[in-house]
Amino acid sequence: MKISENIIPLSLEEVIILQKKRTKIIIALSKIEIFSLGVLFFFFRNNLNEIVFFVLLGCVTVLLIVISFIAVKQINKDLYKDIKKIIIGTIDNKLIEFYKSPSYYLFIGNEKIFVDKKTYQQYEIGAKIEIHITFYSQHVFIIKYL
């Protein structure tokens, strides 16, 4: 059962955390882009017509840039809005979903909150907690017992 939800501005430290997270994502995706373009260049440059190669290279580049923008879109929204929500309540349920790797969730009222494995194991159903979380990227800053 959710007890309360408050909306407050992000602190300077939280803004810095989100900016660092965004930077890490951009750097990781840039490395993947460079590697992908390198593979494309070295394996296909001699096997394809020159025009086809450059069109393919351009398409892959645009696709990877679009993926980069999509990956940081939610964090950018959080930084632009500059707010977070504080949820105070009891954990109603816990869930592990398996797709390619396990994803861990805590439920407080109708809120489904993604957490890491350590946090999932640390908190039990029925525990009263306080969670500081962003709206769009669902980045959890703080989870603590009350």
Q: What is the pLDDT of residues 17-68, one digit of tens each?
A: 999 999 998 888 888 878 877 877 777 666 667 777 777 777 877 888 888 8
Q: Which helix (H) or strand (E) holds 5?
A: strand 2-9
pTM for the predicted model, two decimal places: 0.78
Q: Distance (Å, rounded) from C-alpha 89 to C-alpha 111?
A: 10
Cα separation of 87 and 92, whole Å? 13
Q: Mean pLDDT, to the nearest integer, of 67-94?
A: 91
Does pLDDT of 95 surpass 80?
Answer: yes
Position 1 scores a pLDDT of: 60
Average pLDDT, the chain: 88
